[in-house]
Amino acid sequence: MTRSTAASTSAPDGPQGIGADMHGIGHQFRTIAELAGDTAFSIDLPARTLRYVSPAFSALLGQPAGALQQAIAGSGTDATHAELAPLGMVLAAACADSAAGTPGARSVCEVDVHNADGHPIALQVISTVVRNADGSASLVGLLRDLTPQRALLADQRRFASMLNHEFRTPLATIDGAIQRLESTAASHGADEPTRQRYRKIAVAVDRLIAMLDEYLSPDRMAAIGKARQPNTIAPAELLDAGAKQVRDAGREATVEATELPQTLRGEPEGLRLALKVLVDNALLFSPSGTRVALGARRSGSGVEFTVRDAGGGVPPEDAERIFDKGYRGRNAEGLPGSGLGLYMARSIVDVHGGMLRLGAQDGGAEFRLWLPALDGGGQQRLASSGVSSDNRNDH
């Protein structure tokens, strides 16, 4: 639906003052607020008189401006304008709260209404109280149509559910077949190398099913969009998650952290996944009885994380290609994996304006992950502006 962005100067079908002409800087700010298609409104307090509402209101909901005034006053429950009653209750409550609230405090909530044709519309109501030059107060804000956003999230959930089903069905078949092969291996005379291959396949299937449960489960998809997703994470929280992963695998973890900032800006799940890939590698390529060392320290305007194992390290001939998509080093022969982990981890780090590289390789492999900090003194990049790191090893 196309939503008008024009400014209204008259509303003959609304209550007195709805279409009052607004001049000067107020008119400019109102126009700016409406450029994105949002509906701006202003309600005089304490009378709860609607002074202004954008023409986008009628374009979106198919109702005259006066219907909103009736809804706010609680008289819009008749059959004509009953669709706006939930919105009227939200705005009336915001007006009531303003008496005890602090001017300038921002309130955000969501409400479901129906337009004149009966179609559901999801609205985000953003409001605040302002003091006018004459000492009076007004509740001003925006009505933002969330319907397209919700439709997109629903499509994403359906797509994820489809992927979950399409992957899980063949995995269940493979899992069942491997269990049968393992249970009959001895009676069929399968040798030890064959039984080990069965076990590796079973472990790989378990890992894939666990990933489906973690990233594409219906419960996880249903949670998306219900609350604002965080865009910061504490460095200490990342370290703790890595250490827990090591200990859950039955290994010893050492952690060293110095002078860490409170937060890093980024998508928490993505950053956790990047560190998880590094810890997975450390566990996979080092002897079972050895420890994994994790560290974090200030480095320039950001934080550098390190993950170090006690394995054989990355062979020199593989170092230049270790982050390439699908590349597997010589020391990966016979081990589970697809060669996508380190590629994916570096891609995530690149998007967050960070760097992922190999560190020292004496006595084990070391990976260094650098991320910019919020208090680093400079503007953090939201995405890497340089050349893609797919085929390079240095920064």
Give the domain ranges of the chain: 24-145, 150-223, 232-372
State the Cα–Cα distance between residues 20 and 43, nearest whole angstrom: 12
Residue 240 has pLDDT above 90, yes or no: yes
More confident residue, 183 or 130: 130
Single-letter amino acid, residue 325: K
What is the pLDDT, as a whole number, of residue 375? 56
* Rg for the chain, CA atoms, rounded: 29
pLDDT of the residue at 377: 42
Identify the H or E element spanning 370.
strand 366-372
Q: What is the pLDDT of residue 15?
A: 41
Q: Taking each helix axis from N to C terminus, what angle separates 268-284 and 235-248, rounded to the nearest 10 degrees?
A: 40
Average pLDDT, the chain: 77
Residue 123 has pLDDT above 50, yes or no: yes
The confidence score (pLDDT) of residue 26 equals 59
Summarised one tens digit per residue, pLDDT across range 19-34 is: 444 445 556 666 776 7
Asked if residue 251 has pLDDT above 50, the reply is: yes
The DSSP secondary structure of 229-292, one letter per residue, reads PP-EE-HHHHHHHHHHHHHHTT--EEEEEES--S-EES-HHHHHHHHHHHHHHHHHTS-TTS-E
Judged by phi (left if over 0) then psi (alpha if -120 to 50, else beta), residue 377 lies in left
**Helices (H), ranges, 216-267:** 218-223, 235-248
Among 58-67, 340-349, 371-380, the range scoring the smallest mean pLDDT is 371-380
The residues, ordered by sequence, that sit 6+ positions from 58 with a Cβ below 8 Å of its Cβ are 64, 65
**Range 100-111 average pLDDT:** 74
How confident is the model at residue 101, as a pLDDT? 52
- CATH fold of the domain at 24-145: Beta-Lactamase (3.30.450)
> How far is the first Cα of the chain from the last one, in angstroms, to the nearest whole number?
47
- For residue 112, pLDDT over 50 is answered with yes
Axis-axis angle for helices 341-351, 268-284 (nearest 10):
150
| Distance in angstroms (rounded) separating the CA atoms of residues 68 and 60 | 13
Report the percent of the chain where pLDDT is more than 90: 17
Q: Work out the pLDDT band at 153, boundaries 50, 70, 90.
A: confident
**pTM of the prediction?**
0.44
Which residues, 6+ apart, have CB-to-CB distance to 232 below 8 Å? 263, 264, 265, 266, 268, 374
pLDDT, tens digit (0-9, with 9 covering 90-100), for 263-295: 887 778 888 888 999 998 899 888 888 999 999
Which residues neighbour 395 within 8 Å (Cβ) at sequence distance 6 or greater?
355, 357, 389
Looking at per-residue confidence, does 99 or 61 come out higher?
61
**At residue 39, does pLDDT exceed 60?**
yes
Confidence of residue 107 (pLDDT cuts 50, 70, 90): confident
Q: What is the pLDDT of residue 217?
A: 66
Q: What is the pLDDT of residue 295?
A: 94
pLDDT value for 374? 67
- pLDDT above 60 for 108: yes
Specify the range with the lowest mean pLDDT, choosing from 3-12, 89-98, 306-315, 361-370: 3-12
By C-alpha distance, which of 267, 348, 248, 257 is closest to 297? 257
User: In the CATH hierarchy, which top-level class contains the domain 232-372?
Assistant: alpha beta
Q: Phi, psi (5° rounding) for residue 34?
A: -95, -5
The C-alpha atoms of residue 24 and residue 128 are separated, in whole angstroms, by 21
264 in Cβ contact with 369 (< 8 Å): no
Helix (H) or strand (E) holding 26: helix 24-34
Across 97-101, 133-137, 354-358, least confident range:
97-101
Q: What tokens were used for 370?
A: 């650098």
